[in-house]
Amino acid sequence: MARDVAGSEISGGGGLLVGRRLLITGVVTSDSIAWATALAAQRLGAEVVLTAPGRDLELARETVGDTGLPLLQLDVTDEADWVALTDTLGAHGGTLDGALHAIAWGPPDGLAGPFAGAVPERLDLSFATSVSSYARLGGLVADLAGEGGASLVGLSFDSSRAWGIYNWMGVMKTALETANRYLARDLGPRGIRANVVSAGPLHTRAASGIPGFATLLESWERAPLGWDAHDPAPVADAICFLFSDLARAVTGQLIQVDGGHSAVQGADASPV
């Protein structure tokens, strides 16, 4: 029997996601939204399959531990990995009920410094990793979806303004959100929902590569509900909602899970 991160046994009993097979990409460390989502979905009864890029497989295996969750290799810029993943998931008539795209990459010169100074070739790789792979994953979900359709979920960060840092990754997130709307348009007739969750800043491995990350956290001190940058569980719960039938009429949307920060846009949210 599978076990969660605390070692507790997880039964296949009742839950919001019972009977669903979900693909959670980009799982490497235990502080990630992807890992929190995998555990939450498993607790809710889903069958969960994980992926990590080849360079991070050993670290991902340490994270997975004895949970019993299968871990497959996926570098989204490697065609061979896509083929192998598709074959593995589709073996013996296998279907897929949903997938989380938790994959992004940006070069250091694309995150900080002069906006016009980033190397174009590295930005091309950033787009392929962070944006066009989302469309590719949507195609995979659509091809393997059962009769009940499926749900695709991506991850973003507030792209409504130009932050003092983040630079080209802000552009990539804007592109991801736009791609999501087109996927919702094209995949909806096939029963596939596509939505993006915009999370507040979290202390993850990805965040450690963002220069001046602490400045983002300072802005979230004004979030109406407060914000715990060490707790990805609220984001994971929203993703599980989007995987479930409760969100059966939700597609093409950007869901803000940020303690209400985006609603106040930097204004003082304290009570008068």
Q: What are the boundaries of each domain within the chain?
A: 21-264
Give pLDDT, residue 269.
44
Cβ-based neighbours of 14, under 8 Å, separated by 6 or more: 45
Burial 240-251 (b: 16+ CB within 10 A, else e): bbbbbeebeeeb
Helix or strand run (H / E) with residue 193:
strand 192-199
Tally of CA atoms within 13 A in the half-sphere of 56 that contains its CB: 19
Report whether CATH 3.90.420.10 matches the domain 21-264. no
Query: What is the DSSP secondary-structure string of 107-119?
Result: -HHHHSS-GGGS-
* pLDDT for the residue numbered 8: 39
Q: Is the pLDDT of residue 120 over 50?
A: yes
Can you tell me the distance from the alpha carbon of 237 to that of 239, in angstroms, rounded to the nearest whole number?
5
239 pLDDT more than 60: yes
- Mean pLDDT, the chain, integer: 90
Least confident of 37-51, 61-75, 106-120, 146-160: 106-120
**Total residues found in the chain within this entry:** 272
Q: What does the pLDDT read at residue 2?
A: 41
Extract the runs of DSSP E, i.e. beta strands, from the chain. 21-24, 47-52, 71-73, 98-101, 150-156, 192-199, 254-257
Residue 82 has pLDDT above 90, yes or no: yes
**Would you name the residues annotated as active-site residues?**
166, 173
Question: Could you tell me what percent of the chain has a pLDDT over 70?
Answer: 90
**Is pLDDT at 4 greater than 70 in this prediction?**
no
Q: Which is nearest to 133 in space by CA: 91, 97, 96, 82?
A: 82
DSSP letter assigned to residue 138? H
Work out the average pLDDT over 230-250: 98
Split at pLDDT 50, 70, 90, the class of 265 is low
Give the mean model confidence (pLDDT) for residues 4-21.
62
Q: Is 155 exposed, middle or buried (0-12, 13-18, 19+ CB in 10 A)?
A: buried
Contact 152, 179 (CB under 8 A): no
Phi, psi of 49 (to 5 degrees): -120, 135
